[in-house]
């Protein structure tokens, strides 16, 4: 980069854009109707006039989705944007992740000139279709999944397309909430446009545009520097996806990712991955791109914006007609378990290339979706999303109860919110002892949640890791599997090992759900005994498993480590290993 620039001014503008995104996020958060928006299942971004993401308010994988959406929007409407336009889109074949993800794109004008775009998207609790929620794995084509909306102007030069909105309202469950979340995202984009105009007014359009050029060039340069830190060659990770989305048994769909590193460029090749499925477990290419970018961003300096410059050194090969790049009309609503698996694979193949820097991404993203009719006759629909935590890392434990690495700041809906707004009670929410992947640096423990339903309705439970555990790295052990238990009329029933299960529940029925633990990093017997003791005191690891998994002896009366006994136990293990 030989372009002259003022480094202080560039940093100031970068922080100004971060503030624009924060203002957008606050507007969406404070005006959103659904419980999911209130806990962070949304994202915002600011783009320049070329459609390049320059101000992030999203996780890296979400920015990858935004890039594809902007490409589609610019291709369709380029040259015909007006002040007051609002573009609505949820089409997975236009870049969105699946149909319940609804995006808003708004052009931003300053003194009559197009200077950028503001974007906001969130997951809606319904989009019509065969199953409540719109993200079941059991649909067999896109037409069953709900309303598929390609980029369309909801507002044209400030005039609302009321016919379009009425059409949508007539086809979704809980329409008031649906429209409320759309209005919240429009408010966020309008706020973003206002703040973006202020930035351009303050610093001038030329300075703003040249700063955007710098952000892109700097991201490319920093990404190439990170890639040069990898030994040239090919790194391959293979896995098997064991759920066809339709309840089939003995399913084995191959997944394969190869990283080819050549100097400062990286090829990510999914050739060898299974053909697209007949069900809705397929992942659209925009989501695949976002998954790759989200993982690769973990090895790049945190101060680098995830923009088009960041993506330039990365080439993605995803053969059309496969699980990671299906052809329309393939259904994609149930793609989340595959997404989390591909995300995990990306981290594991990067760990081959950089074993001292990359750990295990983590587990979770499990969901309970509940819909029905309240006693007053109004419809309700909500989604409760929560996570297990990170896997073990070189030098550090996984973090319990948070979204996987590079995934974003998602939270879990507080029990108070659910119980206030919906006919449900949260009977329990907490850690599951002895569910972690053991290691020198352990993986996250599993998380459980139990719901009790106060009214009859329809439930869908989405679960990851029901059949294949999260393996450890560098000698670490795997985490324990997920499970689902339904209690109805006093009878407990373990539910089938399917990623998406649909149930009709009655008042008083309960569902217990446990998220899997994450794999550990390094040999468990090398874990610091003090850390094992801390886990025992916090109820995350039992005294018995401290002995069996970590070779740490704890005095149950004094709750301290028995150092001599621990040294003897670990010495015995070393002798056995030497044999």
pTM for this model (two decimals): 0.94
**The pLDDT of residue 436:** 98
Residue pLDDT tens, the chain, 579 long: 445 668 899 999 999 999 999 999 999 999 999 988 887 788 999 999 999 988 776 677 777 788 889 999 999 998 899 999 999 999 999 999 999 999 999 999 999 999 999 999 999 999 999 999 999 999 999 999 999 999 999 999 999 999 999 999 999 999 999 999 999 999 999 999 999 999 999 999 999 999 999 999 999 999 999 999 999 999 999 999 999 999 888 899 999 999 999 999 999 999 999 999 999 999 999 999 999 999 999 999 988 888 889 999 999 999 999 999 999 999 999 999 999 999 999 999 999 999 999 999 999 889 999 999 988 888 899 999 889 999 999 999 999 999 877 676 677 888 998 999 999 999 999 999 999 999 999 999 999 999 999 999 999 999 999 999 999 999 999 999 999 999 999 999 999 999 999 999 999 999 999 999 999 999 999 999 999 999 999 999 999 999 999 999 999 999 999 999 999 999 876 665 555
Tell me whether strands 152-156 and 446-453 are parallel, antiparallel or unpaired.
unpaired
CA–CA dist 188, 154 (Å, integer)? 15
Q: Where are the beta strands (DSSP E) in 242-395?
A: 253-262, 265-269, 314-317, 363-373, 379-389
CA–CA dist 48, 39 (Å, integer)? 28
CA–CA dist 247, 112 (Å, integer)? 56
**The pLDDT of residue 409:** 63
Phi/psi of residue 214, each to 5°? Answer: -65, -45
Enter the tokens of residue 2: 């030989």
In 3D space, the residue among 247, 236, 270, 437 whose CA is nearest the CA of residue 353 turns out to be: 236
- In angstroms, the Cα distances linking 154 to 88, 110, 151 are 6, 21, 9
In 3D space, the residue among 267, 279, 382 whose CA is nearest the CA of residue 323 turns out to be: 279
**The pLDDT of residue 573:** 67
Angle at Cα 63 formed by Cα 67 and Cα 330, nearest 5°?
65
The residue written with tokens 């939270």 in the block is: 411
Enter the tokens of residue 346: 């990306």
3-state helix, strand, coil in the chain (%, to 5): 35, 25, 40
CA–CA dist 335, 281 (Å, integer)? 4
In 3D space, the residue among 450, 23, 443, 499 whose CA is nearest the CA of residue 283 turns out to be: 499
Residue ranges covered by each domain of the chain: 7-217, 359-522, 529-578
Phi/psi of residue 222, each to 5°? Answer: -65, -35
**The pLDDT of residue 482:** 96
CA–CA dist 100, 145 (Å, integer)? 9
CA–CA dist 486, 95 (Å, integer)? 36
In 3D space, the residue among 476, 424, 477, 480 whose CA is nearest the CA of residue 448 turns out to be: 480
CA–CA dist 133, 129 (Å, integer)? 8
Looking at residue 473, the DSSP 8-state letter turns out to be: B
List alpha helices for 258-307, DSSP H. Answer: 285-296
The residue written with tokens 């053969």 in the block is: 319
CA–CA dist 364, 76 (Å, integer)? 36
Sign for the pseudo-dihedral over CA of 170, 369, 36, 310: negative
User: Do residues 188 and 195 make contact, with C-beta atoms less than 8 angstroms apart?
Assistant: no
């Amino acid at each position: 980069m030989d372009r002259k620039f003022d480094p202080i001014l560039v940093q100031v503008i970068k922080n100004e854009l971060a503030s624009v995104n924060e203002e957008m996020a606050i507007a969406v958060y404070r005006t959103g109707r659904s419980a999911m928006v209130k806990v962070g299942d949304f994202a915002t971004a600011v783009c320049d006039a070329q459609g390049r993401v320059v101000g992030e308010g999203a996780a890296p994988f979400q920015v990858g989705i935004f890039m594809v959406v902007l490409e589609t929007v610019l291709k369709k409407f380029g040259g015909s944007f007006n002040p007051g336009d609002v573009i609505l889109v949820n089409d997975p074949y236009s870049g969105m992740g699946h149909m319940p993800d609804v995006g808003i794109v708004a052009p931003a004008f300053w003194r009559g000139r197009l200077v950028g775009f503001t974007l906001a998207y969130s997951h809606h609790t319904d989009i019509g279709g065969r199953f409540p929620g719109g993200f079941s794995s059991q649909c067999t084509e896109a037409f069953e999944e709900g309303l598929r909306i390609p980029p369309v102007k909801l507002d044209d030069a400030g005039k609302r397309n009321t016919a379009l909105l009425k059409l949508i309202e007539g086809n979704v469950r809980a329409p008031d909430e649906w429209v409320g979340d759309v209005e919240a995202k429009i408010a966020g984009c309008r706020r973003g446009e206002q703040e973006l105009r202020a930035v351009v007014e303050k610093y001038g359009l030329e300075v703003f545009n040249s700063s955007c050029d710098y952000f892109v060039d700097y991201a490319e340069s920093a990404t190439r520097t990170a890639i040069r830190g990898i030994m040239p060659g090919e790194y391959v990770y293979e896995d098997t996806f064991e759920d066809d989305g339709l309840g089939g048994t003995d399913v084995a769909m191959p997944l394969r990712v190869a990283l080819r590193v050549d100097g400062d460029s990286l090829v990510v090749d999914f050739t060898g991955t299974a053909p697209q499925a007949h069900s809705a477990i397929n992942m659209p290419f925009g989501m695949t791109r976002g998954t790759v970018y989200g993982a690769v961003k973990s090895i790049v300096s945190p101060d680098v914006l995830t923009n088009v410059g960041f993506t330039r050194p990365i080439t993605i090969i995803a053969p059309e007609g496969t699980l990671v790049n299906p052809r329309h009309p393939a259904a994609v609503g149930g793609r989340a378990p595959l997404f989390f698996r591909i995300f995990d694979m990306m981290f594991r193949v990067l760990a081959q290339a950089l074993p001292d820097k990359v750990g295990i991404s983590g587990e979770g993203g499990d969901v309970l979706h509940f819909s029905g009719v309240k006693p007053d006759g109004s419809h309700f629909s909500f989604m409760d999303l929560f996570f297990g935590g990170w896997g073990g890392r070189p030098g550090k434990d996984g973090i319990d109860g948070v979204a996987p690495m590079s995934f974003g700041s998602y939270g879990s809906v507080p029990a108070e919110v659910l119980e206030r707004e919906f006919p449900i009670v949260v009977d329990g929410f907490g850690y599951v002892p002895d569910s972690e992947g053991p290691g020198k640096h352990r993986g996250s423990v599993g998380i459980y949640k139990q719901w009790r339903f106060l009214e009859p309705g329809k439930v869908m439970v989405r679960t990851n890791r029901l059949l294949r555990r999260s393996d450890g790295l560098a000698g670490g052990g795997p985490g324990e599997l997920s499970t689902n238990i339904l209690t109805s009329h006093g009878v407990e029933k373990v539910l089938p090992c399917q990623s998406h299960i649909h149930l009709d529940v009655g008042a008083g029925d309960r569902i217990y759900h446990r998220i899997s633990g994450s794999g550990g990093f390094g040999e468990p017997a090398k874990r610091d005994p003090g850390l094992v003791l801390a886990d025992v005191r916090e109820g995350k690891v039992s005294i018995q498993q401290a002995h069996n998994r970590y070779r740490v002896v704890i005095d149950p009366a004094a709750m301290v480590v028995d150092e001599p006994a621990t040294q003897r136990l670990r010495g015995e293990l070393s002798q056995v290993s030497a044999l």
